[in-house]
Chains A and B, each alone.
Chain A
Amino acid sequence: DILMTQSPLSLPVTLGQPASISCRSSQSLVHSDGNTYLNWFQQRPGQSPRRLLYKVSNRASGVPDRFSGSGSGTDFTLHISRVEAEDLGVYYCMQGTHWPRTFGQGTKLEIK
């Protein structure tokens, strides 16, 4: 199975400041079709995960443009340009290139 490793696991942030979360995979996530199937999800307390980004850097419908994604191969990053109160929660990366699908451990974004 592909191991997805996120860091940090806890990220204290100041509202209005930027934040970044790293995700590394144990193998390249480049698919034979040329796409890189790396998703980012946000999970607020008591809610289901919500897809934020797909194929590394494509924002899902309704996702604010303060969220962006970068990376390639095995190293990926979720960027939040200015953290707002509604962004607090746990963030997960997930690879969809290989079977079985696997998720990172999650990064808890909390107020400093």
Chain B
Amino acid sequence: QVQLQQWGAGLLKPSETLSLTCGVSGGSFSNYYWSWIRQTPEKGLEWIGDINHSGDTKYNPSLKSRVTMSVDTSKDHFSLKVTSVTAADTAVYYCARGAIMIYGLVGFSVQPLFDYWGQGILVTVSS
């Protein structure tokens, strides 16, 4: 059974950098895209971006200028950084298995999954 466990700082001041990590266990880390999603009462669920085992990333344009995702295949971990946070970045942050890479004769296609989720972390930005 695939499990995702998240950790990171839960309280930040404005202008600081949000940093979260998600560890994957119980299944393959390769050949998937791994996602970050956040949730607020005001905006609901918002997809932040995806990263695969090779480090290929896809970001939401609304956050792209402040977001960096990275991957550590030696530990089956992937991470999220959001710079210059404000109160608007206060949210519950989730990691999830976002998509599977289906290899064909030429390259691969990406099929969305969102079948496994982490437990969520509340990140609060306050001075």
Q: Chain A residues in contact with chain B, CB under 8 A? A: 33, 35, 37, 39, 41, 48-51, 54, 60, 92, 94, 96-97, 99-106
Give chain B's interface secondary structure class.
strand
Give chain A's interface secondary structure class.
loop
Assess whether A39 is in contact with B47, with CB atoms less than 8 Å apart: no
Number of residue pairs A-B, CB distance < 8 angstroms: 53
Q: How far is the CB of A24 from chain B (nearest CB, A)?
A: 16
Assess whether A96 is in contact with B44, with CB atoms less than 8 Å apart: no
Residues in chain A near residue B62, CB distance under 8 A: 100
Q: Chain B residues in contact with chain A, CB under 8 A? A: 35, 44-47, 58, 60-62, 94, 98-99, 109, 111-115, 117-120
Assess whether A37 is in contact with B112, with CB atoms less than 8 Å apart: yes
Which residue of chain A is the closest to B50 with respect to CB atoms?
Answer: A101
Residues in chain B near residue A99, CB distance under 8 A: 58
Assess whether B45 is in contact with A96, with CB atoms less than 8 Å apart: no
Residues in chain B near residue A92, CB distance under 8 A: 44-45
Which residue of chain A is the closest to B64 with respect to CB atoms?
Answer: A100
Q: How far is the CB of A19 from chain B (nearest CB, A)?
A: 20
